[in-house]
Structures are given as C-alpha cells and as structure tokens.
Structure 1
Amino acid sequence: MDMDPAEISDYVWRAKYRLVDAGRSEAGIADSWRRVARAIAAAEPSGAPLWEARFFDLLQDRSFLPGGRIQAGAGTARNVTLFNCFVMGEIEDSIPGIFRALEEAAVTMQAGGGIGLDFSTLRPRGLRAWAAGTIASGPVSFMQIWDAMCGTVLSTGARRGAMMATLRCDHPDIAEFVSAKHRPGMLRRFNMSVQVTDAFMAAVRSDAAWPLVFPAAAFGPDDQGGESVARRWPGLSVPVPCRVVRRVGARALWDDILRSTYDFSEPGVLFVDRINASNTLWYCERISATNPCGEMPLPPYGACDLGSLNLACFVRAPFTPQADLDTGRLAEATRGAVRFLDDVIDVSRYPLPQQAENARASRRIGLGVTGLADMLLMLGLRYDSAQARAVAADMMRVVCHAAYRASVALAREKSPFPRFVRDAYMQGPFIRALPGDIRDAIAASGIRNSHLLAIAPTGSISLLAGNVSSGLEPIFAASHHRTILDETAAPRDFLLTDYAVEVWARGAGARGAGGESGRPGLPPAFVSASDLGPEDHIAMQAALQPFVDSAISKTVNVPQDYPFDAFKRVYDLAYDSGLKGCTTFRPNPVTGMVLSDPQCCTAGHEADYTSACHD
C-alpha cells in the first residue's frame, strides 16, 4: 500500500495516539494536540490558558513532536507514565534482591516505560554463594527471566516491550554476555551493550592482558587469597577491592565483541568513562546504563523525558537557491519545547516513587531533533559532505544554546533543579564549553534542568510528521517498505516515500528540474543510507555530539560485504571522534532486515525496539 505523507501521518495517529474511550473519541489529530497541550500546561502555576495555546501551536504545525508516551497518555485517565524509558535501580546480588528488581521492572513496563539495566552487580557463573551453599548461574541466566517477563507484560497490550542490558568489560561473564544472542530467539527483547572503559581501550591498543574481576566481598571466608585490584563497582561510591578471577587478552576480547557485532549486530558499545566524565551531574551520580536506544545515559531510577524538533519545518524556500534554515524560529521553538518538557515532569505519573524523586531532583529532559537528513536535502546539501556537517553542527549549536538560555530563564521564574550545586555544576566539561554569557547566567540564577539535550531515533513520531528522516539518520531510501503495527498489534506493510523527496516531487521535481544525483525524479543532493560509508555516519554523529549534553542514538549501517578489519576500524574511529557509544548494523541471518528498499533491496536498520521506546 503506497501512502503519501498526510496519509501515513493519519494512520500512525489512529494506530498509536488517538484517544478512544468509552465516552470520548478524538475525531482528528488536532483534538489530540489540544488534549496534550491542555494537560501539560496544567503544570503552569499561572497563565495556563496562555501556555496551552502556545503549546498547541507548537504541536499543530509539527515543528515539535513530543515523545510517544506523552502523546498517548497526557490528558487521559489511564494509569500510564509520560516518560518513554527508565534506567532501573541497582540489582542486588541475592535472590530476594533480583526478584525485587524484576518486580520493579514489571511495574515500570506495565505503565508504558522501556527500561535499561546494568547486570554487572550479579556474581559470575560458577562463583559459590556461600550463605546459601549454592553455585551462581551468572547474570545472563537471570536476563532470561527479564526477557520472559517482558514478553508476558507485552501480552497484556499492543505495545512492544523495550529493554537495554549492559555489562562491564571486566566482568568475568563478559564473553557469555557478548555471545548471548547468537542463537535465534535468545533474549530478543533485549538490546545489549558492553560498558567499555578508557583503561580497556588502552589495553586493547597495547595488546595487554586484561583482568576480569568481581568485588572481593562476594567471595567466601575460605576463598580470600589471590590477586585483587581496586575498582569502582556499580552501586558503590568509592573503589573497592575486586578479586582477579582470570586474565584475558584485551585485544582478543575486543575482537570477540566486534566479531559478534559484525555477525549479529549485538552488542553495542558504551564508552562509559566518557559518559561519566562529561555528565553535568558528575558530582552526585554515577552512570552505568542507558535507555533502550542509548541516547539517555541515566543513573539508577533515571527517566527519559523526550521530544524532538522537526527540522524539515524550519527550512525556508526548500530546493531553491534561496533555501535556508530559519534559525530564529528554530530557537523560538526550542524555548517552547524546553518549557513543555519541563512541565511534563510535574504532570506525569511515575511507576515507582524512586523514579519520581530522581526526575524531580534533576529535572532532566532530552530535547532532540528529527528530519536532519531531510533538512540537508532541502537545503541542497549531500548528507556526506563537509558543508552538510558544518550546517548540522551550527543547527545543533543554535538548539543547544537556546535550550540552555530557556532553562536559565525557567530557573529565574520557578527555581533551579534541587540537585543544582553551583560551583560543582559549573566545573562540568560541557558547561565549561558553553558561551560566557550562558555560564554567567547559570552562575547567577542557576538552571532549571540538569540536562537538556538528547537525540533519539524517533521511530513512529517521524512517521507522524509525514515520514521525515529519522533523528539524525540519513534518508534510508527515496521510498521503502515498512511494517507498522496497527492498534491491534497486527502488522501492515506500507510503501513510504521520504518527506523531502515528496516535497521535491510536488515542487521543483514536478517542474522537471534535474540534478547531480544522477537519479531521475530525485533531488540534486539526494543520497541514501546505502550510498554512505560507515565513516560518514560517524562523522555526522561526531559533528553534533559537542552540543548534546546527554547522548545520540545512531545506527551505523554497514554493507554485508564490508571486510571485518575495516569494520573494526569503525569503532576505533568512534572512540577517537569523542562519541559516547557506537551501534552498527550489518545484515545477518538472526536480525535480518528491518526496512527494505524496493529499488535496490539493501538492508537498513533501526534498533530492535526503537518504535517501542520512542513511539
């Protein structure tokens, strides 16, 4: 079924966001926008009708797209959260602790939130649990319980579950974790990422031995000898003695991780030391996990409050010599979006009290962008050009600085976030890199939100905007097949045309204008994901990362015939480019193809649970 942008937008709205209750049914998408705007503006202590009108205008023209949980849940009587995702609390290394954590995860997922979990706290397979006289089965075995729970909770509703599992690169069960999804059907409800440290990367590059360790306190009284090293383990505020269980070659382990990713697209990599070093709340939290798609590194019980600016809406005179980005309007929309997302914190329900406490203490939000590739195409720029990266970086700088200025203004009006400690906050590397006037304003008045920016993959909301390119991803293809779940969770296949390509076809393209793309009927600067090398993906992500205080969800597409040695260099480039993580996708028998191009039949990819986390 071929659908134009207006039709796919209407279909997604009806399938995912339209409110249909026993005595109330929304007739059109404007009704949904009005419901959402009114619900979020209710957080305003004064002038709620004024802010409702402003929020409605922001939503109505699709220049700002709130996260899917906000659109589906705001202003309804449903007992759901407006936060897309959470990172769960520490999993205590005991049977009662494990099942308490499982219960918290189930409650969170039932309310509509995806989850991230760090399994590093669980003792490795084969280690004796001395108090019970049993032998530990290891973190991967317990992940299967979460996987089953996720499928069971899913059975009560149409929305797919979303989970991220992480494990330290020095955990003794890291090899089992890396290979856990090699068998079809195994842990399919998880995305998985390895916490990679700077020390590990240094050991890889020097081909050194790498110690696999676990806290010495977990070993029994009869097993207290052996070598130990100090490590700061999850849940512990200071480094503790950790027993060296064995040593492996760092380069061999790294090759195993990358070979698994090459063959099975799992696991991803989180550069966890970089995440913590750049965290604006470095002085009061430690991060070891992310939300399911990776753009929000979060502390225990942290939450994702997400929304995206639709960049395609801010291009004036597209596909003409006068085409430009309306940065003034973009900054204005950013200010409205920051206030909107800040208000979400006050009106949302929370599955757990710890999540409410964390969200209100930091007031962390994740404002991002979508439609970047469409914006560039409409400006006449190839996605893989240096000029495109420069324009994208300038755009993100505008959003970043406008967001921080808006948050300072909110702090003057409503107070800074409770965990704001001026001198410590001002020492964060991201804050030190802001313009002097913003730093001076933060020092004088504080800031409302600890974090402001994150670029999500925007699965379904990019379709709601008329099939704009997703997040900062390149255009997958001028047209492609995509399977979308309807309101009953039944799959339907559609042939979709990219929004910018459709604009071109109805405008300059319809007038017969040609271009450099060499493809009849396509804009001059058109380039698809299959035309790009992995280094082009990395370069675009690196161009925007300096202006994003959280992180960026980005999938680096790799051709099926890409050599493994070249593939390994992609991760070296990601690390050396200052990225906080790297996720690649190469077509393989286990995960197959998510999208297909009807012309060239090459593979594209969105993270397994992108639409579950960001619909």
Structure 2
Amino acid sequence: MTVLSEQTRIGIQRWFTVEGVHPYDTVDWSRRRALITGAGGEVVFEQDGVEFPESWSQNAVNIVSQKYFRGRLGAEDREWSLRQVIDRVAGTISRWGAEDGYFADGAETAAFADELTHVLVSQKASFNSPVWFNIGVPGALPQSSACFILSVEDSMESILNWYTEEGLIFKRGSGAGVNLSRLRSASEHLSGGGRPSGPVSFMRGADASAGAIRSGGTTRRAAKMVVLDADHPDIGEFVWCKAREERKAQALHEAGFDLSFDGVDSTSLLYQNANNSVRVSDEFMQAALAGGKWDLTARTTGAVLETVDAAELLDQIAEAAWQCADPGLQFDTTINRWHTTPAAGRINASNPCSEYLHLDNSACNLASLNLLSFLGADGRFDVTAFRAAVRVVFCAQEILVGRSHYPTAEIGCNAVAFRQLGLGYANLGALLMTMGLPYDSDAGRATAAAVTALMCGEAYRTSAQIAARMGPFEEYAANRADVLRVLNMHRGAVEGIEGRHVPEELASAAAEVWDEACEQAEATGVRNAQATVLAPTGTISFMMDCDTTGIEPDLALRKAKSLVGGGSLTIVNRSLAPALERLGYGAAEIAGILAHVESTGSVLGAPGLAREHYPVFA
C-alpha cells in the first residue's frame, strides 16, 4: 500500500530503452549447442538448439543452460531460450511490482519491465542464483535471497534446528552463516552432569549435512560460514580444526586416495563445506599489539576459564590461515560501528563470504552490476548509465522482498521489517585493466572507491525515493538516528577519496549522490536497512561474461575452472587487447603480445610490452 500521493514516483525512467521497441528486438539471436565436457572429453552436460544473443560467449551459454534453465533435461517443458529465463524472472518481478503499488501508472510499469529486461539481456547486471533458480518457476517456492544469517542458542533443540534450517536454505540455492559463541565450551559443565561437546564438535554434523545437499537441487555446493568469538574457551580448537584436516588430506592423497574436486574419498574430510572466521574486537587487537593478555570466558557464567597471550593467539590464527586459508577475521567493533539498526540487536555473524553483515535470523538478496559494460570505447566510465542501472536493479530487488519465501517465520518477519538488500558489482579487475590502471595502485584504489561510493549512494538515494512512495522499512523509526548517522559516515568517507586519481565526472557524481541520499533520507527515511554489498559473484560473473569476479584482480590471463557436478571451463581474459590499445600499443604489437599470452598464459617476456606496464596485467 502506498503512503503518499499516487503521483509520487520511485524514479524509474527510460535510459536504455525506447517505448514501443522491445529490448529483445535490439539484439541479434542465434541457436547454439550448450556443451560441457570433462577432463577426458566425456560429455557432462549437453543441450542442443539453445537460443542466446550472438554477443554472449560460449562459456556464458554453457553456464546458463546448465545452471539456470528450468525443467528436466530432455523434457518438453525444459527451457531452451534465454528469453524464457529473463521473461520468467523480469516478467514476474514487474507484475509483482505493479500489483504491490510500486509504480504510479502503466507507463512507469512498462519502463521498468523494459529497462530490467535490457540490463539482463545485455549482461549489464544479474541477480543472485536463487532468483534464477526459483522466481517464476511453477510449483517452486520463490526464495530469492542468497544470504542468510542464523542464530543458535545453547540447547540441543536449537542446535538440531540449526541443522534443519541450514538444510532448507541450501536446498533452495542459498547460503547461511552463524555465530556459535553462545554454545558452552567443552571445558564447561552440563546441568545434568558431565561435559558438553563444544561448538567444534557440533560443526561436524552441520558440515556433513551441507556436503550431502546440492544447493538449489542442482550442481552447486552448499555455502556456509561459522563464526566464533575470540574470547570463547574453545577458540584454539576452532582455529586449528581445518588445518588439521588439511594435514590429513595430504597424507591421504599421498596414500593414493582420491581427494580431487568431488573425488570419491573427499567426503572423509571434516569441515570442508564452511568458511570459518574468528570475531575479534578492537580490545583484542590492542591487546595483541601491546603484548597483553586475553581472557577466555565461560558461556554459562561469564567466569574467566583461561588467560592467553593475545599476540600468540593472533599468530596462531595467521599460521592456520596460511596453512589452509581459514580462519578469516571479522572485526566486530568496526562492523557494529557501521550498523544501521543497533536498536534491533547487534551484528554477530555474516553470510558465507562475509559480504552481508546484519542481524541474526535475517536475509539478503543479492544482485551485481558488470562494471566493464559501463566503460565506453573512449575509456570514459558512463556515470549516468551506471546510476540508471543501479536504480532499476535495486528496485527489482526491493520488489522481491515482500514476495519471497523465507525458510523460517522469524527470518521472514525480519526480512519484511528491515528489507536488507545487497546490490554489488563484478569485473572490477577487468575495468581497471581496460582503463590501463594497475589493480595495486593509488589510481586503481581511488577509482574503485569512487565507483563503489557512486553505487552505494545511488542505491540509498533510490531507497529513500521508494520510501517516499511506499514508506520506510518497518523498524526505521526506532533506528532513525543510527541510519542517518551511518549514511553520513558514508558521505564523510567520500571526502577521503583521492580525487586527483579519478575522472572529475566520476568523483563529483560520487560526492553529489551522497549529498542527495542523505538529504532525502532525512526527509523520507529509507526503504531498506541495508543497500549494498560486494559479493564474490561466482556463477553470475560467468553469466555476464566477466573477466574477473567480484572485486578481485584476475587470477591469470588464461585459467580453467572446475565445475561442481563435473566438467570444466577454459576462461581467457578478453580485456587484454582493449587494455593494450588504451596504453597506446599498435595493432601489430597487440597481436604479438596476445600470441605470447595465448601460448604461455602470461605477459612476462611478451615481445614489445614495456616492463612498466606489467603491473596492469598482474
């Protein structure tokens, strides 16, 4: 139900499309064969006659056909065209938006539908996988969120319920995180006598459950995050649990067991289906720097059970992470300083990849923009088009919140009450490369900061504009001061961007949009307690033909990716040639460098490539 005049609009206008011209009619289409093979050439997936835009790569065709086409392979109702997939998703969202009162009239509804269709078919943006899995699919529950944060209390009933909730989340293509610090340690006592198992023991059962469930019922691994506070008495066992399994894996591999990706013996390893993170406060970090002591406290009484050297514990975390890439660190004090709704509770955990941090028992649906698609042939980042794409995708995510299915009643209540969204981007590494900027440079960091600020500011500005029509999120009044405080912290952070490294249009737009967002939020509130995150964008980055995922630099200019369920893709960075052209190389020089990369996989030693340009491609 709208809260203001029917004349109040949410700000959707045509930028990419023309009224009366369907976005599909501006695209050249062709029929192809989707084929994924294994290392030995065996066919892992095949669907002939699939329809895609000619501009889409064969890798994108293969990924979308295998992962996102709905219906049993070979069945009459199996999807075979990208048009069907986008119509299913964009059409459903547009219809829901109209039914729920988001649009002022039919013209705004039509503009939204066309603009959303355009950004999807042109690979400018993509929703997270659960949207493609579940939205508009007959008989499927419309779970659209990829990210969930759960909570576990210190009881067997709650622990077993955690297993169940995670399983349901994984089944529908999503991931979940949880902080286990409320569970009493193995060194404490049970009320009926005896010793408890401790959180690390219960992690084994959850890990086995995750390993048995194919996410989305298809070929995706379940995604988990487990967090433990640095003052938990079992923190030492938690820090080393995965590193010990790594040593076991090495011994088994040397003994001839198959521990390859999806290998038959890989299920014998524990803790392989979750990312682990230690929650550290500023107090802990200060103690580590000062060589101070750190108390580990009982969960039941708060009594100090052990005092350890803070620096030594931090060293152990670093050593274990060096051995097996886990555990990570989550900086609790900083996270909660940027919390928009502390009146509703503190932030204790994150989703599996740590980009979504908010309340326990909450959800976040994600979408990502392909940054490289907004870079013109002249090397100019199209600020206006980028802002237009942010608006339409963000509005689509907001519409999904009220129509989505949630795995528990509590998560559903919190999702509607806080309406957390996670708009982000992919292909940052390729954007910087194509602009001729080293990823590890002041100019690269400043450009990334400006683009991120522009996206986040436009998202919150859009959220405030939606709030003018639909009302702010339900718990806004109780958290108004903190929401506005955090938005102004964002506005202040923009001032720290080194403008001399950023094109003037981009730098000024980032500053202006935050002024607009803060001013409008002051007047109308915001529709969403959270607006943006930077997700790793695995599968959807391939759908958008991104050379790099999320915010990462390119791992290699030519690389192979193993797919869950079998098969692999060879991925060649397509940004190399335009980057070389941007740096001033001629056609013959570019051809020689590309030939060298094709044969070696590296720019090192490429004929004619200046050494000072190596960092651009590192």
Q: Tell me which interval the TM-score lies in, with the shorter structure as reference length.
A: 0.7 to 0.9
Residue of structure 2 aligned with 1:339, choices 373, 377, 395: 395
Q: Which amino acid aligns with 1:497?
A: V
C-alpha displacement of 1:151? 2.2
C-alpha displacement of 1:176? 0.2
Change (3 A) 1:31 1:502: farther
C-alpha displacement of 1:207? 0.6
Q: Which amino acid aligns with 1:10?
A: V
Change (3 A) 1:256 1:249: same
Q: What is the match of residue 213 of structure 1? A: 297
Residue of structure 2 aligned with 1:69, choices 118, 127, 130: 130
Matched, 1:497 2:572: yes
Change (3 A) 1:28 1:528: farther
Matched, 1:199 2:283: yes
Matched, 1:468 2:547: yes
Secondary structure of 1:246's partner? Answer: strand
Q: What is the match of residue 519 of structure 2? A: 440
Asked whether the 8 Å contact 1:411–1:447 carries over to 2, the reply is yes
Asked whether the 8 Å contact 2:433–2:617 carries over to 1, the reply is no
Asked whether the 8 Å contact 1:476–1:528 carries over to 2, the reply is no
Name the CA distance, whole Å, in 2 between partners of 1:470 and 1:14: 20
Residue of structure 2 aligned with 1:83, choices 114, 124, 145: 145
Q: Which amino acid aligns with 2:576?
A: V
Change (3 A) 1:105 1:423: closer
Secondary structure of 1:297's partner? Answer: coil
Alignment of 1:414-429 (within 5 A): 414-421=470-477, 423-429=480-486
Q: Which runs of 5+ in 1 are unaligned?
A: 220-241, 532-615
Asked whether the 8 Å contact 1:467–1:496 carries over to 2, the reply is no
Residue of structure 1 aligned with 2:606, choices 501, 505, 519: 519
Name the CA distance, whole Å, in 1 between partners of 2:141 and 2:609: 46
Name the CA distance, whole Å, in 1 between partners of 2:527 and 2:614: 40
Q: How many residues align?
A: 496
Q: Which amino acid aligns with 1:466?
A: D
C-alpha displacement of 1:426? 4.5
Please list the CA deviations of residues 30-56 of structure 1 after superposition, one character each: whole Å capped at 9, or x if unmatched.
321121101111221244444222211
Q: What is the match of residue 232 of structure 2? A: 171
CA RMSD of superposed structures (Å): 2.6
Change (3 A) 1:523 1:108: farther
More helix by share: 2
Name the CA distance, whole Å, in 1 between partners of 2:585 and 2:428: 21
Residue of structure 2 aligned with 1:290, choices 317, 328, 350: 350
Asked whether the 8 Å contact 1:291–1:298 carries over to 2, the reply is no
Asked whether the 8 Å contact 1:380–1:525 carries over to 2, the reply is no
Name the CA distance, whole Å, in 2 between partners of 1:125 and 1:529: 50
Matched, 1:116 2:177: yes
Change (3 A) 1:417 1:524: farther
Q: What is the match of residue 537 of structure 2? A: 458
Change (3 A) 1:517 1:330: farther
Name the CA distance, whole Å, in 1 between partners of 2:132 and 2:337: 34
Please list the CA deviations of residues 51-70 of structure 1 after superposition, one character each: whole Å capped at 9, or x if unmatched.
22221112111111111111
C-alpha displacement of 1:418? 0.7
Q: Between 424-433 and 71-80, report the one with greater CA deviation.
A: 424-433
Q: What is the match of residue 406 of structure 2? A: 350
C-alpha displacement of 1:414? 1.2
Q: Which amino acid aligns with 2:70?
A: L
Matched, 1:40 2:93: yes
Q: What is the match of residue 428 of structure 2? A: 372
Asked whether the 8 Å contact 1:383–1:527 carries over to 2, the reply is no
Name the CA distance, whole Å, in 1 between partners of 2:306 and 2:361: 32
C-alpha displacement of 1:522? 7.9
C-alpha displacement of 1:107? 2.3
Change (3 A) 1:170 1:525: same
Indicate the structure (1 or 2) with the bigger Cα radius of gyration. 2
Residue of structure 1 aligned with 2:82, choices 8, 29, 32: 29
Name the CA distance, whole Å, in 2 between partners of 1:106 and 1:528: 44
C-alpha displacement of 1:349? 1.4
Q: What is the match of residue 114 of structure 2? A: 53
Change (3 A) 1:246 1:470: same
C-alpha displacement of 1:249? 0.5
Name the CA distance, whole Å, in 2 between partners of 1:257 and 1:465: 36
C-alpha displacement of 1:339? 0.4
Secondary structure of 2:57's partner? Answer: helix
C-alpha displacement of 1:145? 1.0
Residue of structure 1 aligned with 2:315, choices 249, 255, 261: 255
Name the CA distance, whole Å, in 2 between partners of 1:174 and 1:118: 12
Name the CA distance, whole Å, in 2 between partners of 1:326 and 1:530: 23
Question: What is the TM-score when the length of structure 2 is the normalising length?
Answer: 0.75
Secondary structure of 1:361's partner? Answer: helix
C-alpha displacement of 1:506? 11
Change (3 A) 1:406 1:513: farther
Q: Which amino acid aligns with 1:26?
A: E
Change (3 A) 1:340 1:523: farther
Asked whether the 8 Å contact 2:433–2:579 carries over to 1, the reply is no
Secondary structure of 2:568's partner? Answer: strand
Name the CA distance, whole Å, in 2 between partners of 1:475 and 1:510: 24
Asked whether the 8 Å contact 2:484–2:522 carries over to 1, the reply is no
Name the CA distance, whole Å, in 2 between partners of 1:497 and 1:292: 28
Residue of structure 2 aligned with 1:279, choices 339, 343, 346: 339
State the identity %: 28
Change (3 A) 1:415 1:518: farther
Secondary structure of 2:342's partner? Answer: coil
Change (3 A) 1:5 1:53: closer
Name the CA distance, whole Å, in 2 between partners of 1:389 and 1:116: 29
Asked whether the 8 Å contact 2:473–2:526 carries over to 1, the reply is yes
Asked whether the 8 Å contact 2:483–2:529 carries over to 1, the reply is no
Name the CA distance, whole Å, in 1 between partners of 2:490 and 2:537: 28
Please list the CA deviations of residues 533-583 of structure 1 after superposition, one character each: whole Å capped at 9, or x if unmatched.
xxxxxxxxxxxxxxxxxxxxxxxxxxxxxxxxxxxxxxxxxxxxxxxxxxx
Asked whether the 8 Å contact 1:382–1:525 carries over to 2, the reply is no
Secondary structure of 2:533's partner? Answer: coil
